[in-house]
Structure 1
Amino acid sequence: MATPLPYRQQLLDDLDRLERRIAEGDPSGELRLGRADLLARLGREADAREAYLALLAVMPGHSGLLNNLGTLLDGLGYTSAARTLYREAVKHHPDHPTGLINLGTSLQKAQAFEEARVHFAAALALAPDSIEANRGMAHTLAGLGDEAAAVPYREKGFRQCPTLAYPYRGEAAPIELLVLGSSVGGAVPIRQHIDDRLFATTVLFADFADPTAPLPPHRLIFNAIGDADLAAAALRDAAALVARSTAPVINRPEAVLATGRAGNAGRLATIPGLITPNMAMLPRASLPDAAAILADHGIAFPCLLRSPGFHTGHHFVRVERPEDLATATAKLPGEMLIAIEYLDASSTDGKIRKYRVMMIDHALYPLHAAVSHDWKVHYFSADMAGSAAHRSEDERFITAMEQVLTRDQLRTLADIEQVLGLDYAGIDFGIDRAGHLLLFEANATMVVNPVDSDPRWDYRRAPVQRVMDAIRALLRARAA
């Protein structure tokens, strides 16, 4: 057996000493809390969770317990349970910045931006120089569409410290992984797929990185800047950083840079069997002439309008008539808007289906089929939980995609993957009544989340795990 790394051996020694002291008595629970923290740092998540949960009855309002258990659960994908714990921490300790920051971060990721801003403001009032609070406020204000207000917080949160290190919990010498990020967001949701028993991970925010400083030690680079519309400048910075390294790169920045919505619609339009929407960039100053501009680009009504850089339906509206443009655009942030031709994905039953296929290391993996009566289809808001029939459609797609899609449709997906040229990406698409694939979105920002514990989703566990295994295999293979 390999000798543990020195810092890991120190954790094991500390754990041994704590357990001997606990055996002598621990009425307050503080020693057992320290033990749970050590178990978490050692990567023994199941043991740590059991230890934390046992302590809730002993010290239900303890700030460290609530925050640390929340962080553990959040890292395991149980975001709702983590948020509940963070709320408890803030309720019992409203003057502790840690709980406020954790709750604000959880809310910001859930796009509950108004509430997140309240908690980040409270944290900054207590700790104005907190890097985490400033970064969180910057992301929150950007999510609210107030980019100008986000800038000073972003500067304070990233300028002096453009890196972030994830804890390493392995027993052997780690593989050093460099993840390139962007301070403005648009990240590939990769952290939960990085095995922290194999990789020691450093995140470098490319748009604040010193171009003359040595790169952090690394054997593999993962470019996690995934949104070309939001983070084009950061992608160009990332390309310059990558050029200074000889390490293998997952999702090369220049390939991601070509995946903006309008760019994809143009370059994928020639793929047989695929229909891409016409698009037009609308400067806000041009809105009085928007109807004429849309007509020139072949965009009829109803059409779609969205602010660049937002996902999951945020700042995204359907406009039925030219006279509705002024009202619709008033709700959207940003100086530039994207007008998108509406592609009718409704089936003969009147329902709309949105399919997602992940593209991992140049192989296709079905992730979901969402069925809804609404044009804006997202799996989390579609008519899935309450409909056994819809879940049955989803199950058939993710377990036997080749029986749901025709051979021509599968070939179209393979052609899209080849043109994108990304190692990690996904495509959201519909199917019209003639059998053509309708492009909704194709980029690297697609999320692969763990399956909820509700038994209704049991059928999803093995197919989703297959995708997650493919992501981890990609990282291991490139690192080799």
Structure 2
Amino acid sequence: MLLSVFKNASELMDSGQVRAAIDVLLAERQRVRRVPMACDMLAFMLLQADRPEDAIEWFEASLGINPADLKALGGLGMALLTAGKHQRSLQCYEQMISLNPGNSEGWFRGGVVLAELGRFDEALENLDRAIALNDQLAPAMIKKSEILEGLGDMQGAIAAALAACKLAQVQSSSWFRLAELMQKSGWNDQAIMAYDRGLQLAPEDFLGLHNKALALKASKLNEQALVSAQAALRVEPTNKEALLLCGNLELALGNSEAAHFCFREVARMGIVRSYPAGRKPAKFRALMLFSPVAGNTPYEDLIQDGCFDADMIIVLPGQGYDPAFLDGAADVIVNLVSEPDLGPDAILQAAHLVEGLETPIVNHPKLILGTDREAIARRLAGMPDVSMPMTVHVSSSALLARLERGDLPSFPLIIRHAGTHGGDMMELVSDAETLRSFAEEARSHDLYLTDFVDYSSADGYFRKYRFVFVGDEILPYHLAIGDVWKVHHASTRMGDVEWMRGEEEAFLNAPDKVFGADAMAALDAIRRRIGLDYFGIDCSIDRDGNVLVFEVNASMLIHLHNEGFEYKTPHVNRIRSAFETMLERRVGERSQQAIQAQRVGTGTSPR
């Protein structure tokens, strides 16, 4: 009788009817409970059906008859781990090892649980024992790679992933693991090759296709990246990240209509991304406005593992949202759309979206409109102890026409594409012919012309300081020291020159000693005049002791990737903490307003 039940259940399993197979065995539960093999069969089916608690019952029934059943012990360990009962799961694998010290599966699974428990050194020991017992155990190599990466040993992680690939050359997961590590290390060419090996084995693996597209994009191979991203989208047609990636690539390739189609598809899904708080429970929830067709405040490292939950929606010209949804979605709204020269229509749309909302708005879009380079130069003109070179916004055609008339600006000057940062598309020119060539190459791009000021220090080096304004705080972020006038931290020799790093660290620890009381007061005056909740300034100190301003905007980058400059990290974290505090204060202000309104409405007053 039980044999026919087994046969029926097996046939149903083979045809993919897992639930039906489970029902067949449960209908004979009393008979099944007396046979360990039957208990195991039912338990594994329940585990496959994502019913770990039920699976635990049947694995325990099997072990009640045969406590030394290694298969049942391993299955119980998996069920307990899936159910979140890590300590009991670990005990199962320890029992497996006790019964058979040569059981590589027990050592491997125990290592996985130890990693879940945060006992990483012990986890690595277990995995090494598993690999020593079975040098063909590729999953153990992959898990070891993941743990080593988490511990910051990227070299060890890559070595373990390479070993997994050698062991399991026909296993796509090994190649994808290696590719991800190569990609994170910035070795995009090697990552692409590893993705290709994995995709030969699993051609419709969504993450493989999507992440390969990201690696191709990072290598500026946008056309190939789009092909891979579109393939990923065919696998998961409603995946928001794939739609955003396709849209960004279409935009980069000049296919604006196709890009906007992708972005609109994402926008109508509502929340695009969610970032859970790193510390539970979350203190509050933030809603972030982001536009893929404009410049935005870099936010990833700013909010990573913060004290609040955050959701993101995207802003597109003409794309509306229900005001009741926006007011109810969060305790505070953070506008990230921050670059007036890239997508002013998106900023206006963001301003329209938040109009009339009761939720507090951080970096209100209307305030962003006045932060282009020309506007900032006008707004800061005449301020005590502040100097900002005159900046003029001009189209390339208008500049060429001016040059044709012989109307020459004063040289030397800096010319740059509007909307660019980081020194891209920016040159120092000293004659009309060079200026004309730059304008001709710019074609339809708008340009900025800025008077050049020699801001070299007495020692001949150029110093550019960055502060971040958060609420009413002025916080140092970095000092870049260079040999030439175009100074950007990533392109200097600071990584190799100890005295430069020492000077930066001294500035970060005591910026007021470097700038002095008058310059710090000038920075505070700039903060109040600009009026944003969160923004940055790149500046120097000129030969008269004034704050020489290069740019002021909400698009400046802060990040936590400070390899070789570890002294910067506490100051980045201070900015992050100030940002959280500022948001929390705005949430609290709203709560106080609501309490006051309620008191007015009920005719009560505080005692």
Fold in common (TM above 0.5): yes
**Which of 444, 450, 463 is the aligned partner of 2:571?**
463
Tell me the CA shift for residue 180 of structure 1: 0.5
Runs of 5+ unmatched residues, structure 2: 1-52, 54-78, 97-102, 119-143, 151-156, 589-607
More displaced stretch, 88-97 vs 457-466: 88-97
Runs of 5+ unmatched residues, structure 1: 1-8, 41-46
Contact 1:303 1:341 in 2 (8 A): yes
When the two chains are superposed, the root-mean-square deviation of aligned CA atoms in Å is 4.1
Contact 1:63 1:93 in 2 (8 A): yes
1:44 corresponding residue in structure 2: none
| Alignment of structure 1 residues 18-417 onto 2, 5 Å | 20=89, 23=93, 49-50=146-147, 56=161, 59-60=164-165, 80=185, 87=192, 89-94=194-199, 95=203, 96=205, 98-105=207-214, 112=218, 114-125=220-231, 127=233, 131-140=240-249, 149-162=254-267, 163-168=271-276, 171-172=280-281, 175-194=284-303, 198-207=307-316, 209-212=319-322, 214-215=325-326, 217-291=329-403, 299-332=409-442, 334-417=444-527
Give the aligned residue type for 1:388.
Answer: E
More displaced stretch, 333-342 vs 257-266: 333-342
Deviations 1:379-414 (A, max 9, x none): 111221121121122112111111111221111111
Distance 1:195 1:132, change over 3 A: closer
Contact 2:462 2:483 in 1 (8 A): yes
Distance 1:361 1:197, change over 3 A: closer
Over alpha carbons, which structure has the higher Rg? 2
1:420 is the counterpart of 2:525: no
Deviations 1:183-202 (A, max 9, x none): 22411112323255743322
Matched residue SS, 1:448: coil
Contact 2:212 2:228 in 1 (8 A): no
Deviations 1:152-191 (A, max 9, x none): 2321221122141224366546733210111224111123
Q: TM-score if structure 2 supplies the norm length? A: 0.64
Contact 1:223 1:253 in 2 (8 A): yes
Once residues 85 and 97 of structure 1 are traced to their aligned partners in structure 2, the CA distance between those partners, rounded to angstroms, is 19
Q: Equivalent pairs: percent with the same residue? A: 25
Contact 1:186 1:445 in 2 (8 A): yes
Distance 1:265 1:160, change over 3 A: same
Deviations 1:235-255 (A, max 9, x none): 111112112421112111111
Contact 2:396 2:443 in 1 (8 A): no
Once residues 139 and 352 of structure 1 are traced to their aligned partners in structure 2, the CA distance between those partners, rounded to angstroms, is 36
Once residues 37 and 66 of structure 1 are traced to their aligned partners in structure 2, the CA distance between those partners, rounded to angstroms, is 22
Distance 1:100 1:65, change over 3 A: same
Once residues 366 and 350 of structure 2 are traced to their aligned partners in structure 1, the CA distance between those partners, rounded to angstroms, is 9
Distance 1:15 1:233, change over 3 A: same
Give the aligned residue type for 1:472.
Answer: E
Tell me the CA shift for residue 63 of structure 1: 5.7
Contact 1:265 1:277 in 2 (8 A): yes
Tell me the CA shift for residue 85 of structure 1: 8.8
Once residues 400 and 342 of structure 1 are traced to their aligned partners in structure 2, the CA distance between those partners, rounded to angstroms, is 29
Distance 1:18 1:119, change over 3 A: farther
Distance 1:316 1:241, change over 3 A: same
More displaced stretch, 271-280 vs 168-177: 168-177
Distance 1:126 1:249, change over 3 A: closer
Contact 1:120 1:137 in 2 (8 A): yes
Q: TM-score if structure 1 supplies the norm length? A: 0.80
Deviations 1:116-165 (A, max 9, x none): 553233322553656534533543565x6x6xx14123212211221412
Which structure has more RCO (C-alpha within 8 Å, separation ≥ 6)?
1
Once residues 497 and 475 of structure 2 are traced to their aligned partners in structure 1, the CA distance between those partners, rounded to angstroms, is 24
Tell me the CA shift for residue 436 of structure 1: 2.2
Give the aligned residue type for 1:309.
Answer: G
Distance 1:174 1:435, change over 3 A: closer
Contact 1:66 1:86 in 2 (8 A): no
